[in-house]
A and B are shown apart, each in its own frame.
Chain A
Amino acid sequence: MKEISTGPSESQLIRLAADGDARAIRQLYDRYSPRVYAVVRRIAGDDDLAQDYAQEAWIRAIRALPTFRGDARFSTWLHRIAVNAALQALRKSETRKKREGPVPEQVPVAPRGGDALLQQRLERALDELPYGMRRVLILHDVEGYTHEEIGDTLGVTSGTSKSQLFKARAKMRDMLTALDGAAQESGAEAWSI
């Protein structure tokens, strides 16, 4: 069945947004903000930082829109900008310290079915991972980057990326096991992988 067009195409939206059109920018934001926010939130490991990083990512993207030539999909292009913005912001942050406070109990996850309890524990374990491991695990296992792409993005070798990934997976496994054990002790619903 032929799809009925109900608004401007994505390429039209991009052209208008590049020209500063408020409605076009809002439509792009509505369409892609959950994806942008998800990746920067996981890299940041913190809601307040995530909001700053997401905003920075959007500013960079809108500023760079006139240079978007459509060689890659817009979502991919935007995602790369978001990842780079979050990673650079973390690197530049001189005041960033290892988080000592309690991690948020719940990350606002968009409803999409699946095991919400499992997702919450994964998010919590991700937040608690050391930064170096976390960024590689997120880029590889969550976002699907190759080790070569991670190497280019982080300025490390693909061997380093692999090594960090295996450590991160192992650490995640330990933390999830511990979280599961704690949940069982407290009488909460048990979950295990």
Chain B
Amino acid sequence: MEHLNTEILARLVDQTPQPEEAAHIAECEECSAELEAIRSQTDALRSLPEIRPPQGDWQGLEARLRSEGLMNDPGRFRRIGLAQTPGWMRAAAAAVLFLSGAGAGALLTSPEAPESLGDLEMPSSAATFATSTSVEAAATAVRVAEQNYVAAITRYQQLLISESGVEAGSDPMSRMAALEYLATVSQAAVRQAPGDPYLNGFLVSVLGEREATAQLVASRGNWY
């Protein structure tokens, strides 16, 4: 009796045999056993496990992703959960946060500084923003805050110049020292309330400004 060849048996793993093939397999133990063996082989292939990548695989991939600009560390807004916020709103929020920081810093470093941030009163405009009842109203409030910030910081600079001279408060080293102080205070505050979004936002705003100022200082070797 002529046996079915292996390729035919391999086909019969998942295809219906021709009548003569079926008849042969029914009679031939050898071909029947061989067909079962190929079926088992196919089942075993289907259940092959996943394979762990070798050590160092991630490091190589990470380096390439970074070199191609496809990966970066989480941004400051992403770290505090604001990644989905529109860009203009993030910018406005940063501005408001920085204004708060500047105000707090000025108070903390002045001779009449309050003993804690808790002594600061919320500006009336901030209280107004907090009462917005719709997205549109809140967005308008943020835009108003942004405009107020620009006007306030301009006025702040004018007053500093008129009261203390041109350099006071505007030279990078003085600003750097003030920001260092603010960073220390806000880091302590975040340690006390690590889940507080306002404190986290304030801290990242201060750290961002400190970084920018440090770069400015570094870029001006002869700033003095």
Contacts and interface: CB of A to CB of B under 8 A. Distances in A.
Contact of A193 (B13, B41, B54, B70): B41
Interface in A113-137: 114-115, 118-119, 122-123, 137
B53 A34 contact: yes
Label chain A's interface by main secondary structure: helix
Interface stretch (A58-66, A91-99, A153-161): A58-66
Contacts of A119: 44, 48-49
A26 B65 CA distance: 11
B86 to A, nearest CB: 14
B85 interface: no
Contacts of A84: none
A165 B41 CA distance: 13
A108 interface: yes
Contacts of B45: 122, 137, 141-142
B136 to A, nearest CB: 25
A191 B204 CA distance: 62
A19 B74 CA distance: 9
B68 interface: yes
Interface residues of A, number: 53
Interface in A98-117: 107-112, 114-115
A170 B7 contact: yes
B70 to A, nearest CB: 5
Interface string A72-98: 000000000000000000000000000
A152 interface: no
Given A114-B49, A169-B41, A173-B38, A59 B70 contact: yes
Given A167-B7, A173-B6, A41 B51 contact: yes
A35 B46 contact: no
A34 B65 contact: no
A141 B48 CA distance: 10
A74 B60 CA distance: 23
Nearest to A165: B10
B78 interface: yes
> How extensive is the interface on chain B, given as a class?
35 or more
B191 interface: no
Interface in A151-193: 162, 165-170, 172-174, 176, 192-193
Contact of B74 (A21, A54, A168): A21
Given A22-B72, A123-B48, A142-B45, A51 B53 contact: yes
Nearest to A63: B70
Kindly name the residue among B41, B50, B54 whose own CB sees the greatest number of chain A CB atoms within 10 A: B50
Contacts of B72: 20-22
A193 B35 CA distance: 10
Interface string B35-62: 0011011101111111111100110111
A9 to B, nearest CB: 13
Contacts of A170: 5-7, 9-10, 38
Given A108-B51, A109-B49, A170-B7, A16 B65 contact: no
Contacts of A111: 49
A21 B78 contact: yes
A109 B48 CA distance: 9
Nearest to A142: B45
Contacts of A21: 71-72, 74, 78, 83
8 contacts: A19-B78, A59-B65, A122-B45, A142-B48, A166-B8, A170-B6, A173-B6, A173-B37
Given A19-B83, A173-B10, 16 more contacts: A20-B72, A22-B74, A34-B50, A37-B50, A51-B54, A51-B60, A54-B57, A63-B70, A108-B54, A112-B50, A115-B44, A141-B46, A167-B10, A169-B6, A170-B6, A193-B44
